[in-house]
Amino acid sequence: MYKTQGLKNSRIEVADALRGIAVIGIILYHAVEHFNLGSPGGVSHGLPVDGTVFNILTVLLSGKMYGIFALLFGLSFFIMRDNQEQKGKDFSLRFAWRMVLLFGFGVLNLVFYDGDILTFYALMGLLMIPAGYLGTPVLWAVTILLLIQPVEIYSLLSGWKPDLSSLGKYYMELMKAHSQGTFLQNAAADLQYGFAASALWFIGKGRITQTIGLFFLGLLVGRLRLFYDEGNHLKVWRIVLCISVLAVASGVIFGAAGHGDVNFGKLDSLLHPLFNLAILLFIVSGVVLLWYACDGFRRALTHICFFGRMSLTNYLCSSLLGAFVFYGWGLGMYKVLGTTWSLLVGIGIVVLQIVVLYQWSKKHQRGPLETLWRKLTWL
């Protein structure tokens, strides 16, 4: 059983910067996807580069930004648990209550956006409670098992496939509400079909085990203090960077025939999540190394650290703003703007939130929803 090492957990600014990068990436990719609505009837204002822009953003952002979130989610759990353990307190029940609150925020987000991730993080996050008691070698074994996609390996070996037949029906109902419905009709459809559609999509893309594995990996990163510039930690990140670069290059060569994203043919269900993991680790290791090696890079990213600390507020606000811009109950831009113009809208949403929350950060250490979540957690 793991016991605290009694070391102080100071604020990790590079983790805040990574969280800021992740939330920006999520907003941008949601924008080019028209917040899951797509463009059912085509768009009136597209550009010749739209296909290329979409392919690049898919490879760089799709699944990777949520993965970074999952890694940092596990890190946050470790810090909170370890701080309480150093005070002689058990954080388990308090964290379970925290996940109940997060689920509530997720349901609120579902009112605006059917692809909410918070509800899943809340449910799967409960597994971190028993994981926190595991010894480090055992936790490493469990983490590696989850990250190598055991369900997909079993599926390929046995021929078993999950039943995803309802996914098409759910998406049809959601697209109909998003394109033609009122705000209340959208909210009703999202609450009725959004969670189920996302769950099936998660299963089909191999995200369940990978997300839990990344939670546990973040927990291990916290235990080993890898985000601190201590000992040989930067050497570890250099090794991770080299391995991830080789994995990404191999994946690009092997899956170069894909359209819109790298595709591995019959092995795609197994190798695609691993390819996403390799890009994720490349981004994380690259940012950590540049953060500690380059003063200019660190100063530049310092300006988005506050944005990362307010990720919950940013995530929910972007769902509201994005739905208003693209859905039929709002401006209806899903039928007007192609990928490149939608990317510019996403950048506009990011800039607007940065400007507003920067003013908020002058007087408040946390975002509005983060403050509420913290107060409710410690009731």
Predicted confidence at residue 257, as pLDDT, reads 47
Confidence of residue 11 (pLDDT cuts 50, 70, 90): confident
What share of the chain has pLDDT > 90, as a percent? 86
pLDDT for 89 beyond 70: yes
Looking at the chain, the whole-number percentage of residues with pLDDT higher than 70 is 98
Q: What is the pLDDT, as a whole number, of residue 374?
A: 95
Long-range contacts of 357-363 (CB under 8 A, 24+ apart): 357/306, 357/307, 357/310, 357/313, 357/314, 358/306, 360/310, 361/306, 361/309, 361/310
- Read off the amino acid at residue 133: Y
- Is the pLDDT at 187 greater than 60? The verdict is yes
Question: pLDDT tens across 244-258, in order?
Answer: 999 999 988 877 544
pLDDT bin (cut points 50, 70, 90) of residue 261 is low
pLDDT recorded at residue 262: 73
Q: Please state, in angstroms and as integers, the Cα–Cα distance from residue 238 to each residue in 60, 108, 291, following that order.
A: 20, 40, 13
The domains of the chain are located at 13-227+238-377
Q: For 193-209, how does the pLDDT look when each residue is reduced to its tens digit (9 = 90+)?
A: 999 999 999 999 999 99
pTM of the model: 0.94
pLDDT of residue 264: 83
The DSSP bridge partners found for residue 45 are 337
What integer pLDDT is reported at residue 256 of this predicted model? 56
Give me the mean pLDDT over the 259-285 stretch. 86
Dihedral (Cα; 65, 70, 74, 80), 10-degree rounding: 80
Give yes or no for a contact between 149 and 210, defined as CB atoms under 8 angstroms apart: yes
Confidence of residue 265 (pLDDT cuts 50, 70, 90): confident
Cα torsion at 230, 234, 237, 243 (round to 10°)? -140
For residue 263, the model assigns a pLDDT of 76
Of 14, 33, 81, residue with least CA distance to 297: 14
Q: What is the pLDDT of residues 285-295, one digit of tens each?
A: 999 999 999 99
